[in-house]
Amino acid sequence: METIIEAMHLNKAYNDQVTALLDVNFAIGKGEFVALLGRSGSGKSTLLNILGGLDAPTSGEVRIDGRNVDFGDRKALIALRREAIGFIFQSFNLIPALTAQENVEYPLLFNYHEKAARRERAADLLATVGLADRAHHYPREMRIGPGGARTHSYGGACR
pLDDT in 10s for each residue of the chain, 159 residues: 899 999 999 999 998 789 999 999 999 999 898 999 999 989 999 999 999 898 999 999 999 999 999 999 999 988 888 788 877 666 667 889 999 999 988 888 877 678 898 899 899 989 988 889 999 999 888 865 544 444 444 455 544
Q: Which domain range does residue 112 map to?
A: 100-156
**Cα→Cα distances 115→118, 129, 139, Å:** 5, 22, 22
Q: Order of strands across the sheet with 18-29?
A: 18-29, 3-14, 59-64, 67-68
Looking at the fold, whether 78 and 105 belong to one and the same domain comes out as no
Question: Is the pTM for the entire model greater than 0.75?
Answer: no
Last residue of a domain, one of 83, 118, 133: 83
Looking at the fold, whether 26 and 62 belong to one and the same domain comes out as yes
CATH of the domain at 65: 3.40.50.300
Looking at the fold, whether 21 and 75 belong to one and the same domain comes out as yes
Number of domains in the chain: 2
Looking at the fold, whether 14 and 78 belong to one and the same domain comes out as yes
